Amino acid sequence: MRHFGNVGNQIGNPLSSFYCVTARDFKWPQVWRSNIGTDLRSPWGTLFTVDLAYTKDVHAMMVRNYQLGTPSGTLSSGTGDKRAVYNTNDKGGAAAYVFTNTNLGHSFNATFQAQHTFPKGFYAMFGYNYLVSKEASSVSAEISSDAFDRNQVVGNANKAVVSNSLYGNTHRLLVAGTKRFVYGEHKDWGTTISLFGSWTSGNRFSYTYNGDLNNDGSTLNDLLYVPTDAEINAMTFTGFTDANGVFQSGAAQQAAFRAFIQQDKYLSKHRGQYTGKYAGATPWFSQVDMRVLQDFNLKVGKHTNTVQVSLDIVNLGNLISSKWGLRKYASASGYYQPMTYVGQGTDDLSHYKFDPSQKSTFTTSPDLPSRWQMQVGLRYIF
């Protein structure tokens, strides 16, 4: 978790419309960690490495809003979504974000690696990492109110519930290879070519509503309920005019929402259920990098100096083809909001909006991770 900046809120935001407080019995983060590892060299020279680590949270950090009591209401959605919601009597006057502790959270990390140096200057390495990480609160916010608002929940926003961590990827495969070529009249010139490849399972995110379903004051943290086809027909959608000036009726939104759920692997497998916190994951992504290192050895008097020219290419696949080395994302913020909660209507039912232009959960990132980069370096060694 990354909440170290929150302790300074009391000083940094003295005139806020809410309170930022550190609990009297608050304890700095503390974990219990056990790990074991070994290196084994085979008779043919391959070095195998195994590392296992288990971490248990003793005093993890979590921001709670002490303005809120226990929610006593029930959402009237017309579907199976009957989550607890806050009534007026369940809330105090001003929000009071309190920096507290929880002991929920653990992780298991396993790393396996094999490396071998072959004759004639060739080196190869293969590695695999497996990670399971669970926490009660793992948002990337430095402000207490943001840390509370972005901690996804179903119902009671102050209850610590262990779930997937935002940080870390479940699987990662690494492959590296290096080959050095030596030549010249006196074998004093050399070219080293290195390739590094990684294949990584997707980054985690949550499906949430755009709107405050449980009436806790946050429009970011209510986890999505995935309705069945029959429940979609019973939902109330508010008609609206989209950005192109086209009116989107309730029937059009129902059909589009049904198609959106069907194209999403996670949502389509959880019909009639709540989505889990950070249960969504972007598609696997890969990247291959290359380095070419050229050495020129020059004799200057009695000394031999080296001029070294390097060429680094990051995301080599994208240089070869614009369709390779791309990354896809649903949201850059850790939460993805495909559905808008409008509020409770006069019919005492929840009203929603869904933009039919949403055809796919994931889009290709235009940022640097999806682009190739090149760097040239010059080094003089004497």
- pLDDT tens-place string over residues 105-135: 999 999 999 999 998 889 999 999 999 999 9
Average of per-residue pLDDT across 34-57: 97
Strand, helix or coil at 357? coil
pLDDT confidence of residue 8: 60
Residue 370 carries which DSSP code?
G
Specify the pLDDT at position 1.
41
Give 358's contacts (C-beta < 8 A, 6+ positions apart).
256, 260, 338
What is the average pLDDT score of the chain?
A: 91
Q: Is 299 exposed, middle or buried (0-12, 13-18, 19+ CB in 10 A)?
A: exposed
Apex CA 261: angle with CA 255 and CA 267, to 5°? 160
Q: What is the DSSP letter of 242?
A: -
In order of 196, 217, 247, 353, 364, the CA distances from 350 in angstroms are 52, 17, 21, 10, 33
Main-chain dihedrals φ then ψ at residue 254, nearest 5 degrees: -60, -45
pLDDT at 2 over 60: no
pLDDT of residue 18: 81
Integer Cα distance of 335 and 223 in angstroms? 9
pLDDT band at 164 (very low <50, low <70, confident <90, very high): very high
Tokens linked to 57: 């949270």
pLDDT at 4: 47
What is the average pLDDT across 299-304? 73
> Which of the two residues, 7 and 111, has the higher pLDDT score?
111
Which range in 15-19, 96-100, 169-173 is most confidently predicted, on average pLDDT?
Answer: 169-173
Is residue 260 within 8 Å of 237, Cβ to Cβ? no
**Residue 93's pLDDT band (cuts 50, 70, 90):** confident
| Position with higher pLDDT, 380 vs 333 | 380
Which candidate, 1, 341, 266, places its Cα nearest to that of 141? 1
pLDDT at 116: 96
Instruction: Kindly state the percentage of the chain with pLDDT values over 90.
Output: 77
Judged against a pLDDT cut of 80, whether residue 198 lies above it is answered with yes
| Number of CB atoms found within 10 A of residue 153's CB | 22
Residue type for position 88: T
Q: How far apart are CA 321 and CA 319, in angstroms?
A: 6
> How would residue 204 be classed by pLDDT, with cut points 50, 70 and 90?
very high
DSSP letters of 195-233?
A: EEEEEEPPPEEEEEEES-SS-SS-SS-BBPEE--HHHHH
